[in-house]
A = this chain, B = another copy of it.
Amino acid sequence: MKVYFVSDGTAITAEVFGSAMLSFFDVAVDTQSVPFLTTQDQAYGLKKQVDLEVENGVPPLLFYTIADIAIREIIQSCDCHCYNLFGDLLSPIEKALGVPAQPTAQKAHGMKEGVYDGRIDAINYALANDDGVSIKNFDQADIILLGVSRSGKTPTSLYLAMQYGIKAANYPITEDDFAAVGLPRVLKEHKKKLFGLTIDAQRLHEIRTGRMAASKYASPRQCRYEIEEVESLYRQERIPFLNSTKLSVEEISTKVMAEMQLVRHRQ
C-alpha cells in the first residue's frame, strides 16, 4: 500500500500523525514524504504521479497539511484516499478559542520569529557533557543521567536536547564507583538531578558484543555483575531509575521527563 505524506512545510506533522494512524493497522506500507509543496505546479506534478499509481492497482492513501486553498483542491482531486489532517478540527478549535485561524502556511516545525532556538545550546551541552567528559558544568544541567556503558545514556541525552531543549549531562558508572562507598562527590552535590538507567544483562551483552566481541567488557558475567551493582547503587542512594530494555528513545525520554517533572524549554 503506497502512502503519501504531503505538506507545504516539513511534512513532519503529516508523517507523525499519518504513521500513528497506520500503526493501528496490520498492513505493509510504502511511504513517501513530499515536503515543501508550495505551488500549484508542484501539486499538479504530484497529482500526475499519484493518479499513475492508481492505474497500477490499489489507490494510495494521502495525508496532507496544506494551508493554501487552491493547492488543497488540486491535492483533494487526486484519485486516491485523501485526508486533510487539519480539516476536521480547525473550525471546532476556532469556536473554542473564539478567534479565527490564520490562513498562512503552517510553520509548526519552522523557526519561531524572534525566539532563539535553545535546543542548539542544549545539543552542544549534551555533547560537551557526554559520558562524564566534563563534570564541571553539572550546575547547568537540568538532569544528569547515570548508567553503565551502553545502557542508553547518550541517545537519551541527545533526544531530550533535540526535542525539548533540556540540558542533559550523563555520567558513566564504572567498577571504580562500585568499589567506593556511596556516590562520587561530583554526583552527591547534584543528587536531585540524578536519574539512573538500567538494562537487562542479556541485552547489554548483545549490544557490547556488537561493539567489542569476545571481550571481558561484553561477557555475560561482566554485564550481569555491572547491572546488579548499578541497580543496588540506585536503590541504596534512592536514585529513581528505569529499565530501558524494551523502550524506544522516545519512551525513555518521555518517562524520564514525567518522573523528574522536567519542563520543556520549547513547545
A interface residue numbers (CB < 8 A to B): 1, 9-13, 16-17, 19-27, 29, 31, 33, 35-36, 59, 61, 65, 81, 83, 85-86, 88-90, 92-94, 96-97, 99, 101-102, 106-111, 117, 119-120, 123-124, 127, 130, 154-155, 158-159, 162, 246-251, 254-255, 257-258, 267
Contact = CB atoms under 8 A, between A and B. Distances in A.
A83 to B, nearest CB: 6
A154 B258 CA distance: 28
A119 to B, nearest CB: 7
Contact of A36 (B61, B65, B83, B255): B255
A212 to B, nearest CB: 13
Given A92-B83, A155-B120, A23 B106 contact: yes
Chain B CB within 10 Å, residue with most, of A1, A20, A154, A267: A20
Copies in the complex: 2
B97 A27 contact: yes
A137 to B, nearest CB: 14
A10 B99 contact: no
8 contacts: A11-B254, A20-B106, A35-B258, A83-B92, A110-B250, A110-B251, A117-B248, A120-B155
Contact of A10 (B21, B22, B251): B251
Given A102-B26, A248-B109, A250-B10, A90 B21 contact: yes
